[in-house]
Amino acid sequence: MDYSKLKSHWEETAKKQSELKKSLTHSDQYLPFLESEAILSNLKETDEILEIGCGACDNSLPYIKKCKSYIGVDVIDTFVDLAKKKISDNKLNNATVINTDGLEYIQENDILQNVLITQRFIINLKKEAQLLFFKELRKKKSKLTRIIICEGFNEELLELNRLRKIAGLDEIKVAEYNNFLDKHFIDELLKLGYKIVKEINFNIYFFITRIFNNKSFVFSTEDIPPVAYEFEKMKLFTFDNNISYSKILILEL
Ligand SMILES: C[S@@+](CC[C@H](N)C(=O)[O-])C[C@H]1O[C@@H](n2cnc3c(N)ncnc32)[C@H](O)[C@@H]1O
């Protein structure tokens, strides 16, 4: 499959990240904190982790520190170099990062870990490859028992955009190199035999940062995300509409 556009996007991002010494894999600084804290709370000290699309391991250090062993995989060599440096600077000796394609890695290797993590990796694959990734996992001789995916979801984005429209705000568009997952995809996963054992969403954070976003509080200023982050952690209010277009699903095989 032709991933040249996507690869040049991530190559450029990784080079900029290396120069600026600042994580550039997400434009929203606080959302990855919520995601990673939620992922971390679902990891155990005995876990052996495989993370596909780990990037520079910007979010992965806490996982590595908590778990027994960690293998990260990323297709961009500059990200892999940054990840390796981070691991060695932190004197962590239970982690390795491999520079290869994530889907090929799954196809060519037995999975010796019990946990698989993806944090905004699957949305980088084309539709057919997304399902193939999960089909291959089921075929493999593997020790996997838990799959933690933190990805972008289409119906939630549509719902968020419906509310944004009422609030007079522009539609949030998915980047052209991303393919958000949807209900049809989830149904296919269930047909393959995966079970969804937990769903973690960040509706409060999304409501505050993406809707409570009037002219005096523009999302790009630094005012809103830290407040939204605290409110989300407190679970300050319940919110029935599902607008958390980034969410975590924990799957079992
Ligand atoms: C949105 S970034 C997320 C990085 C990291 N998981 C994080 O949360 O910061 C997506 C990552 O997936 C990697 N990626 C994209 N396509 C890939 C592929 N086919 N195989 C392995 N890694 C890939 C990119 O290089 C990038 O590091």
Q: What residue spans define the domains of the chain?
A: 4-19+27-153+175-201+244-252
Ligand 1 atom 11: residue of nearest CA: 53
The rounded distance, in Å, linking the Cα atoms of 98 and 126 is 22
pLDDT value for 222: 64
* 177 in Cβ contact with 5 (< 8 Å): yes
Q: What's the pLDDT score for residue 165?
A: 87
Distance from C-alpha of 236 to C-alpha of 210, rounded to nearest angstrom: 17
Q: How close is the Cα of 20 to the center of ligand 1, in Å? A: 19
* pLDDT confidence of residue 216: 47
CA 118–ligand 1 middle distance (angstroms): 9
User: Counting atoms of ligand 1 from 1, which one is nearest the CA of 55?
Assistant: 27
Q: pLDDT tens digits for the chain (253 residues)?
A: 568 888 898 999 999 888 888 888 777 889 999 999 999 999 999 999 999 999 999 999 999 999 999 999 999 999 999 999 999 999 999 999 999 999 999 999 999 999 999 999 999 999 999 999 999 999 877 899 999 999 999 999 999 999 988 878 889 999 888 999 999 999 999 999 999 999 999 999 999 888 876 544 455 556 677 878 888 898 888 888 899 999 999 999 8
pLDDT at 235: 86
pTM of the model: 0.92
* DSSP secondary structure letter of residue 123: G
CA of 89 to the centre of ligand 1 (A): 22
Predicted local confidence at residue 217, as pLDDT:
45
- CATH number, span 4-19+27-153+175-201+244-252: 3.40.50.150
- CA distance linking residue 155 with residue 239, whole number of Å: 16
